[in-house]
Amino acid sequence: MTQIHPSAYVSPKAELGRNVSIGPFSIVEDDVVVGDDCRLEGHVTIKSGTALGAHNEVAEGAVLGGIPQHLKAGSELGTLLIGNGNRIREYVTIHRGLTPSDCTKVGDGNMIMVNAHIAHDCRIGNNTVIVNNVMLAGHITVGDGAYFGGAAGVHQFCRIGRLAMIGGQSHLSQDVPPFVTVDGISNYIVGLNLVGLRRAGFARDEIKDLQGAYRVIYRSGLLWNDMLEVLKNTFKYGPASEFHEFLSIGDRGFVQERKTPRQASIKLADVTHADEPLRKVA
């Protein structure tokens, strides 16, 4: 049986499922869908254009479907689609798509902790953990099972691969491949997310292949295209094949490993001085 606190406001144009609970002083605006067995605590705001699936829990002060924090945000906006079985904790903010054809999407079974922010047009997979004060800018894609430590920040348009572990207070401006761990102090990759892989039920042989692919990417010293070719030809099946797929696309570049392989020579910069000829730092 649906229960709505007397102090809550629910628009007659909203659609509520069965066994929905809405706490005191919460607001559910026009053009909102709240699925079966959802629970909204006190002071929750669900803005127009938002749809929640079933069995979602939304804690105090959360605002879902807010206007994008973008200079081009107009009066006509996109939507926010949230799946099933998510736990959205206190003061989380998740924004709608920027234009009428855009949609911010959150999958199933995610844990989004206190004061986290998910901006417009993000795509969040399933079973992720987004810890307190994490900041995800617009158009970010997050793979299934990814984990973000507290206060991590990610630049717009970045991709975070599935089961990646992002350390607390990381600040990322490039893509993070699947299955790896990013250190929150250096913002570099420090190996595979072995704990996450084992918890996800990966077999020993699958982890061994991932370790082999990781060495090809970060320890072989191969040129980029040669490295991709080795990945493609050597790891054709299973989770390790996802490295080639992920690394073959992307516009922002990729987070590097903290320890540079000795045999690799990396050009750092081209530096020009007014009184000196062009010199290369390698």
Residues annotated catalytic, as ranges? 120-121, 138
* String of DSSP letters for 225-273: HHHHHHHHHH--SSTTHHHHHHHTS-SS-BPPBSS--TT-----EEEEE
CA triplet 106, 112, 116: central angle to 5 degrees? 100
- Between strands 180-182 and 189-192, the pairing is antiparallel
Identify whether the C-beta of residue 24 lies closer than 8 Å to the C-beta of residue 5: yes
Burial class from Cβ neighbours inside 10 Å (0-12, 13-18, 19+) for residue 250 reads: middle
State the Cα–Cα distance between residues 93 and 117, nearest whole angstrom.
5
Identify whether the C-beta of residue 272 lies closer than 8 Å to the C-beta of residue 260: no
Residue 53, SS3 per DSSP = coil
Instruction: Count CB neighbours of 93 within 10 A.
Output: 19
